[in-house]
Structure 1
Amino acid sequence: MTPTPRLSRAGGAPVSVSFEFFPPKTEEMERNLWTAVERLAPLRPSFVSVTYGAGGSTRERTHATVARILRETDLKPAAHLTCVAASRAEIDTVVRGYHEVGVRHIVALRGDPAAGPGNAYEPHPDGYAFTADLIRGIRAIGDFEISVSAYPERHPESPTWDVELDILKRKVDAGATRAITQFFFDNDLYDAYVERVRAAGIDIPILPGILPVLGLAQVKNFAARTGATVPAWIAHRFEGLEHDPATRQLVSAAVAAEQALDLVDRGVTDFHFYTMNRADLVYAICHLLGLRPTPLAEAA
């Protein structure tokens, strides 16, 4: 199946999307994941990524999920991989395993501190120290597409923009082919970030990461760990909806679609959605972007 961009609105620029899923921990979560995959697959995403837990805690489940996507769907999966709590030999074995089952896209990340949030990151003594090292290791094993993370508001550990951009440049010089941003809610931050990246001579695609707000408390928790800002207007939009999930979902779809459509007006054509394994909300947003499902017979 070859992904085909669709018009974002009548006469508008073509839009393509990709989706992030996380590997399930229980049978119920497994059902939810595959419901989401089956619901979103007809939108023909350019790729779908599967996350990888801190310290390799989901390594086997991530691999199993990616392998099943390859086996049972026409989607192109991208497997997340981190440097945390694993030796080079262990990580190389994982990369070779992905290559053997047909995966040709890896999302390479340093990873969060193995000791948990609030602790300093410490490289494994026999591992890849940072993302650029991991990328070079992946490149030595096979010809992979390699996506990396990007931070419109700077990574919490980057003291200056010069440091932030230098880290991204090292990833690109090592072989990264695409960057996906951490979620953000102020599109001016994304524009300013892309401008900084281009001024630094970095020309890989920078996909905006869009996170629909499933719950305000959850998003604030994510933001605290990643250095993202949750504006007061976001909190106001969801005020009083803690025990009203139906209305909250409608508001969430509207907020995310508003953000995405504004980015389209600014010239953005590629979007990455953090689905949280919830299909209906992301499907609705994609519908508002102008994407329509295509039967597999037509997509083949």
Structure 2
Amino acid sequence: MNTASVLARWAAGPREGVPPISAQDLPAPQLSFEFFPPKTEALEQQLWACIRRLEPLAPRFVSVTYGAGGSTRERTHATVTRLLAETTLTPAAHLTCVGASRAEVDAVARAYWEAGIRHIVALRGDPPAGAAGYQPHPEGYAYAADLVAGLRRIGDFEISVAAYPETHPAAASPQADLDNLKRKIDAGATRAITQYFFDTDVYLRFLDRCLAAGLTVPLVPGILPVTNFAQVVKFSAMCGASVPGWLARLFEGLDADPETRRMVAAVVAAEQVRRLQAAGVDEFHFYTLNRPDLVYAIAHILGVRPVQRG
């Protein structure tokens, strides 16, 4: 995905959003999926059912999250190594700075490299539950840019980092947040994956600012299908993502109707992707929440079909 070409297409069209466009007008996009590691045996089975359901869609990669304060380190490692050993998927492991020294983080990264994992999603990370705020480990990597630089010293990883179209809630300002993204890319990140958003123009305006700052790596939109609107509102208030009024109206009156909610969610996410594709974006990262059927349906609407392997 070339950032400059996306912006050129956007600039040539209406600035207030791209009109809907039918599936046959656009090629199937490239997709990647995010999973979270299981906490129980039942959730382990649910995760692997999710993986097997989505594996035939041949995503570009799949990422596995890392709990607050590094709380799922072992489960994340077990999941990505099993993905590599037992599936056709390319796994990417989340790795954070929280609660560990540089030596400990480096050891985890080396273990990934030795296991054959070549893609890391490098994040500062969230503080453990109950903590007043983020505090760097006294012997650790302070921020994601430092972690990226450390990973570069260990191996030739593909490194994805986080980007925030509506500004990270802890950032001093939008410019400070953009400066931080630039530091991560300058340190060696090869791609950024955005926090989810719902309005197309939010992402396109962010691209505009990134290009003006000289950032040209792929800035992959993060897509969150809305399965529970009340939960999305609550989480969005914490992570700084806006929830537009039109989205609230679409889910109004559906609290006790999960089937209709899923259908609405599929249409909303597919339309969001199509609008961005019409502006020239061709790669998308889906936050699956380990719920495969909704993501599979959205991918189908977008023209993504199972790959037949010999």
Q: Is structure 2 residue 97 aligned with structure 1 residue 83?
A: yes
- The residue number in structure 2 matching 1:235 is 248
TM-score by length of 2: 0.90
The residue type paired with residue 151 of structure 1 is Y
One of 75, 84, 101 as aligned partner of 1:70: 84
CA distance in 2, matches of 1:198, 1:152: 13
Q: Per the alignment, do residues 237 and 47 of structure 1 end up closer, same or farther by CA in structure 2, a change over 3 Å counting?
A: same
Q: Is structure 2 residue 185 aligned with structure 1 residue 172?
A: yes
Dislocated runs of 4+, deviation >4 Å:
none
- Residue 148 of structure 1 aligns to a residue whose secondary structure is strand
Gapped regions of structure 2 (runs ≥ 5): 1-21
The residue type paired with residue 239 of structure 1 is E
- The residue number in structure 2 matching 1:3 is none
Q: Is structure 2 residue 123 aligned with structure 1 residue 109?
A: yes
Q: Per the alignment, do residues 255 and 63 of structure 1 end up closer, same or farther by CA in structure 2, a change over 3 Å counting?
A: same
CA distance in 2, matches of 1:147, 1:218: 27
- Residue 17 of structure 1 aligns to a residue whose secondary structure is strand
CA distance in 2, matches of 1:295, 1:157: 45
- Residue 292 of structure 1 aligns to a residue whose secondary structure is coil
Q: Deviations over 1:122-162 (max 9, x none)?
A: 10001000001101111111110000000010111223222
The residue type paired with residue 66 of structure 1 is V
Tell me the percent identity: 62
- The residue number in structure 2 matching 1:223 is 236
The residue type paired with residue 104 of structure 1 is R
- Residue 207 of structure 1 aligns to a residue whose secondary structure is strand
Contact 2:28 2:304 in 1 (8 A): no
TM-score by length of 1: 0.93
CA distance in 2, matches of 1:125, 1:114: 16
Gapped regions of structure 1 (runs ≥ 5): 1-7
CA distance in 2, matches of 1:20, 1:194: 22
Q: Deviations over 1:168-190 (max 9, x none)?
A: 11001100000000000011000
Tell me how many residue pairs correspond in the alignment.
Answer: 289
Q: Deviations over 1:72-122 (max 9, x none)?
A: 0011000001100111111111101111110000000001123547x3211
- The residue number in structure 2 matching 1:5 is none
CA distance in 2, matches of 1:111, 1:225: 14
Q: Is structure 2 residue 47 aligned with structure 1 residue 29?
A: no
The residue type paired with residue 88 of structure 2 is D
C-alpha RMSD of the superposition: 1.3
Q: Per the alignment, do residues 116 and 78 of structure 1 end up closer, same or farther by CA in structure 2, a change over 3 Å counting?
A: farther
Q: Deviations over 1:241-289 (max 9, x none)?
A: 1121111111111111111111111111000000000111001111111
CA distance in 1, matches of 2:174, 2:96: 23
- The residue number in structure 2 matching 1:61 is 75
The residue type paired with residue 214 of structure 1 is T
- Residue 283 of structure 1 aligns to a residue whose secondary structure is helix
After superposition, residues 58-207 of structure 1 pair within 5 angstroms as 58-116=72-130, 119-207=132-220
The residue type paired with residue 193 of structure 1 is F
CA distance in 2, matches of 1:179, 1:212: 20
- The higher relative CO (CA closer than 8 Å, separation ≥ 6) is in 2
CA distance in 2, matches of 1:149, 1:205: 12
Q: Is structure 2 residue 286 aligned with structure 1 residue 270?
A: no
Deviation at 1:12, TM superposition (A): 2.6
Deviation at 1:293, TM superposition (A): 0.6
